[in-house]
Structures are given as C-alpha cells and as structure tokens.
Structure 1
Amino acid sequence: MKKLIGIMALMAALFIMTSCGGGNSPKAVTEKAMKALHDKNYDSFVEYIYITPKEGEDMEASKKMLSGMLQNKAEQTYAKKGGFKSYEVLDEKIDPSGDVAAVRVKTVYGDGSEKEEDVKLKKDEKGDWKLDMGK
C-alpha cells in the first residue's frame, strides 16, 4: 500500500511539473511580460496577451494597434509617476481547473509610489498561458 501511494505521489508530481513547464507557467509569463513593459518593448508585451482571433482579421495589424495604444497609455502613466523603476512577482495562484490563474505583482515607480495588483491569465488554444485583458 505504501508503495502504491508513493508511486501515485510521484506521478502527480511529474504531472504538475510537466503541465506547468518552467517557461510557460503563469508566473514565468507574467515575469516576461513585466520585463517587456519595464524595457518599454510594447510589441513584445503584446505577444503575452490572450487575443481571440476574429475571422478575416489581420492579427499582426491588430497587435501593432494594441502595442501603440499600450505605449501611449504606459508613457502617460510613467510621465505622471516618474517612470517605471522596478517590479516584483509576489505570488501565483492557479485555479483548480488548471485553465486560469492570477499572479500578484508589485510595481515600483520612479516617484517611489508602489502598486500591487493581480494579473489574470488563461490558457490559449495551444495550452500556453497568456495575460487575460478581458473584464
């Protein structure tokens, strides 16, 4: 009986490690997205956003437009707050369904102000974690 429980525990651990893959965990994706924002690489940031393709839509044009809007909004925020100084990924919570997650992030601005928020993520049709910018 102990051997069976041990094997089941090992299999569960292996399943969790393979399903969360280090480079595609919610925490890792959030880390990459925050780095892109910090580096003002808005085109790269957009690659981490969950976008539902619409029929007949030029996905690259949509991403470019979203990147431009994001840059405008971010630059306004950075101007008010003295820039984007640093960020820290604090916590990761994956829903029992395994398809949605929330990652707690602390952002520090140049004026010393801080903001903590939950970044929502969900898996896309390929099973990759993406930032969920929906409501």
Structure 2
Amino acid sequence: MKFVFKLLAPLLFAFAAACSGGGSGPGSVVQEFTTAISEGDSDAMIEHIAPSDRETLRPKLGLIASLAAQQTEQRGGLDSVEILSEEVDGDTATVTYKTHYGDGTEEEDSATLTQVDGVWYMAIQADGS
C-alpha cells in the first residue's frame, strides 16, 4: 500500500493544486495570456481580457494573434514564461515577466492586470493607449 501511495501522491498533490484555484493569480494569467498569444489563440486571449473591454478588442485580436504566432514561430516557438515579480495593490497588479523562446532568445516585459469580481484580467485599454 505504501508503494501505491508513493506512486499516486505526486498526482494527488498536482490535482489538488489544479483544483484549488491557485493558478488564477496575476502571474498565472500573464503566463496563460502569453501562451495564447504565442499560439495565435484569440479565443483564449479574449478570456483573459476584462469583460468590459472584450467587445471593443475582439475585432483586433484575430490579426494580432496571427501576427504574434508567426513571430513566435520565427523565434523557435515559446519555450516558457518566467514570472520575475508580482506586485498587487488592491484590484490592480503589475507582473514583470520574461518570455523564453525556442531559439534561446529572451524578452522581458511587464503587464498590468485588474481584478473584477475576484478574477484577474489583463488590463488592455480598448482605445489602444
């Protein structure tokens, strides 16, 4: 029985972490949004944008997603997104992150997020500013 527990314990801990909602913090949202951009997945991108900005941004996201996926592919694909810092101030967060590409290049950037009804979203202004 101990042998079975040793085999299953890591899976159970991973499942518990996935179900706990612990992956919904600002850093996780940035990772998921960056992955969606790299894959050209505009539907996944829109899910990470504040609901109040979605309809205004939706028409632009298809083109942006397509271009971003092409650029990511030229860099050897997305290798990983590393969260460097996460600063939360009430319903606003700033996440500094580094994107690692398959060709060995890296890019550091930061993102601003806003919390709406307990859920973090990318704060992308619909007017482009």
TM-score, with normalisation over the residues of structure 2?
Answer: 0.64
Work out whether residues 96 and 109 of structure 2, in 8 Å CA contact, stay in contact via their aligned partners in 1.
yes
Please state whether the residue corresponding to 1:52 is helix, strand or coil: helix
Structure index of larger Rg = 1
Q: Aligned ranges for residues 8-87 of structure 1 at < 5 Å?
A: 22-52=22-52, 59=55, 63=58, 65-87=59-81
Q: Cα offset for 1:27? A: 1.9
Runs of 5+ in structure 2 lacking a partner? 1-20
Deviation at 1:101, TM superposition (A): 0.6
Q: Which moved more, 1:110-119 or 1:71-80?
A: 71-80
Q: Is 1:89 matched with 2:83?
A: yes
Residue 129 of structure 1 aligns with an amino acid whose one-letter code is W
The alignment yields a C-alpha RMSD, in angstroms, of: 2.7
- Structure 1 residue ranges, 4+ long, deviating more than 4 angstroms after superposition: none
Q: Equivalent residue for 2:120?
A: 129
Equivalents in 1 of 2:81, 2:71: separation in Å? 15
The one-character-per-residue Cα deviations of 1:46-89 (angstroms, maximum 9, x if unpaired) are 210125259xxxx4x953x2431222220342244233222212
Query: What's the counterpart of residue 101 of structure 1?
Result: 93
Q: Distance in 2 between the 1:23 and 1:76 partners?
A: 28
Structure 1 residue runs without a partner (length 5+): 1-20
After TM superposition, give the deviation of residue 108 of structure 1 in Å: 1.3
Aligned residue identity for 2:78: F
Count residues in correspondence.
106
Equivalent residue number for residue 11 of structure 2: none
Distance 1:28 1:83, change over 3 A: closer
1:114 aligns with 2:102: no
Q: What is the SS of the residue equivalent to 1:86?
A: strand
